[in-house]
Amino acid sequence: MPAIASHNSIMAVKSENAGEVARSNGGSTPQKRRLRSDAAAVENMSPISTPMKLKPPRRCVNSSPNSGANGIEMEINEKLMSARKSPVKKKLCDSFKSKPNWNPQDVEQMSAVREALHVSTAPSTIVCREDEQKKVLEFCKKNLEEEKAGSLYVCGCPGTGKSLSMEKVQHYLVDWAKEAGLQQPEVFSINCTSLTNTSEIFSKILLKLQPRKKLNGSTSPLQYLQNLYSQKLHSSVMKMMLIIADELDYLITRDRAVLHDLFMLTTFPFSRFILIGIANAIDLADRFLPRLQSMNCKPLVVTFRAYSKDQIIRILQERLMELSYIVFQPQALELCARKVAAASGDMRKALSVCRSAIEILEAEMRESVSKMNSASAEQGLFDQQAASAFEFFNSQVRVDHMAVALSNTFKSPVVDTIKSLPQHQQILLCSAVKFFRGGKKDMTVGELNKSYMNICKTSLIPPVGTLEFFSMCRVLHDQGVLKVGRDDKLKRVTLKADESDITFALQGVRFFRNCLQ
């Protein structure tokens, strides 16, 4: 220790002498540097102290007599902006700090994780859809209090929480009616894809309303319901009925009669019928129910937007918070949310990607453990410390696992094919995706050409001729992206590629990203 002290003192003397020599040579040191060093020396008397860092004037609160309030307001705004930048990411990281890592080799833990991330597992709380649920619930409450019929249409992209939210609204409404002392409504939920024919929905409604009722051959279930809701005597003794019809677009027929008659049941004078229809098409009410609009009976529309990156992270976090251990690295979840939000915003796709990443981790650990066991058997040695470090590093789903899962989900041969297409063929696919989002299952070649021409016109891109357009349709048909008949404008066109694959392939180009929004 004395030797070290004497060495430090010698170095301090040398540095002082060097400073004096530098100050004596006025030409070799700039004036500004001398002044700054002198000020620091005066302000900090100890030679080992560091000079105090002064805030810039624009960030000081008391920089001028009149800037106090402005400075405080600026500081508060900066804090709010910093809090808004990444609240979900910060919360996600903080929630993972207090939990231990999971063990993928534990059968019970693996089963619990898979169940938490399964699409069929309903979460205890539905986040990021509070506003939409409130609108639907207030609508149902008002109609229930007034004993008045009404219709509501819930629309949005696939995987945006429409069906799940309506299930929650149904439970909220029944509980609210019970607490308010009102008669609880009769609730009937049906998925229209389960119907053998579209008109069967009226038989299902009548069976729920009057289970013992048997009709003669001359009266159909629809006619009976229409007569029932036209008579005051019968409607006064009946309970209010809430019907939730999921996949409503399956009721669209050529003459649109079934869909129209279903919504018309809510317009009868003594109807006690609250209808909530769920489908993907945003403009279904405008295109398929024009008579309701002319009669001022158009259903209220509630739109569910595609999930954003932060919303997907929050929903995944809510599902994983029920577990008592850490499964994913925060960066891995963020990568999944960013990619899925950019492609489709489909929460079901995000859950599928996470489950795929877990399977990749499980296969990797199984292979690594097998190699370690074989190596230890050959050498007769097993380093316990190295094994525990290996287990800690590999017990979480990392970014590389998630990247492989995303690649397996979205990087299909169809995606590569779409990316390599010429620009006008990509525009044709973009126009087809936009057209099918309206709820149609197919279209004519002429309708597709018109949609393609509209995109070219709005983007100031010269379109190709009619013959070349038909040729592009044939090329896309041969590559398995479109299904087209002959070169006839009356022939039908359908998409053979998945819409999410087309969106994922084109979303890297700003032009197509704007077209598909």
pTM above 0.95, yes or no: no
| pLDDT greater at residue 45 or residue 433 | 433
pLDDT at residue 233, rounded to an integer: 61
Position 210 confidence tier, pLDDT thresholds 50, 70, 90 = confident
pLDDT at residue 330, rounded to an integer: 94
Q: Is the pLDDT of residue 251 over 80?
A: yes
> C-alpha angle 38/39/45, rounded to 5°?
85
How far is CA 109 from each of CA 6, 116, 119, 327, rounded to the nearest angstrom? 62, 11, 18, 10
Q: Is the pLDDT of residue 496 over 90?
A: no
Please report how many Cα atoms fall inside a 13 Å half-sphere around the Cα of residue 60, on the Cβ side: 10
Query: Per DSSP, which regions of 58-195 are E strands?
Result: 150-156, 186-191
Q: Is the pLDDT of residue 433 over 80?
A: yes
Position 376 confidence tier, pLDDT thresholds 50, 70, 90 = low
- Distance, CA of 272 to CA of 148 (rounded, Å): 6
* Percentage of residues in the chain having pLDDT higher than 90: 40
Position 63 confidence tier, pLDDT thresholds 50, 70, 90 = very low
Which pair of structure tokens corresponds to residue 505?
A: 């392939």
> Could you tell me the residue ranges of all domains in the chain?
101-122+307-370+391-410, 129-303, 413-516
What topology is assigned to 129-303 in CATH? Rossmann fold (3.40.50)
**Helix, strand, coil abundance in the chain, percent, nearest 5:** 60, 10, 30
pLDDT at residue 419, rounded to an integer: 86
| pLDDT greater at residue 218 or residue 330 | 330
Q: Is the pLDDT of residue 435 over 70?
A: yes
How far is CA 265 from each of CA 202, 216, 248, 270, 375, rounded to the nearest angstrom? 10, 21, 15, 10, 73
Ranges 239-253, 276-290, 399-413, most confident = 239-253
**pLDDT tens, position by position, 305-359:** 999 999 999 999 999 998 999 999 999 999 999 999 988 899 999 999 999 999 9
Mean pLDDT of 214-232: 87
Q: 413-516 maps to which CATH number?
A: 1.10.10.10
Helices 87-97 and 330-343 sit at what angle, rounded to 10 degrees? Answer: 150
pLDDT at residue 62, rounded to an integer: 39
pLDDT at residue 398, rounded to an integer: 92
How far is CA 116 from each of CA 43, 110, 310, 317, 381, rounded to the nearest angstrom? 61, 10, 19, 11, 39
pLDDT at residue 290, rounded to an integer: 76
Position 34 confidence tier, pLDDT thresholds 50, 70, 90 = very low
Q: Is the pLDDT of residue 510 over 90?
A: no
Ranges 65-69, 81-85, 508-512, most confident = 508-512
Strand-pairing partners, residue 444, are 492
pLDDT at residue 256, rounded to an integer: 82
Question: DSSP letters of 188-257?
Answer: EEEEGGG-SSTTHHHHHHHHHH-TT----TTS-HHHHHHHHTT-HHHHTTSPPEEEEEESGGGG--SS-H
* Percentage of residues in the chain having pLDDT higher than 70: 75
Q: 101-122+307-370+391-410 maps to which CATH number?
A: 1.10.8.60
**pLDDT tens, position by position, 124-159:** 889 999 999 999 999 999 999 999 999 999 999 889
Which pair of structure tokens corresponds to residue 346?
A: 């489909």
Ranges 263-272, 345-354, 416-425, 426-435, most confident = 345-354
pLDDT at residue 234, rounded to an integer: 53
The three-state secondary structure class of 186 is strand
Burial of 173 (0-12, 13-18, 19+ CB in 10 A): buried
Only one residue has tokens 């309903």, namely 122
- 192, 186, 498: which is closest to 346 by C-alpha? 498
Average pLDDT for the chain: 78
Q: Is the pLDDT of residue 235 over 90?
A: no
Position 17 confidence tier, pLDDT thresholds 50, 70, 90 = very low
pLDDT at residue 326, rounded to an integer: 93
Matching fold, domains 101-122+307-370+391-410 and 413-516: no
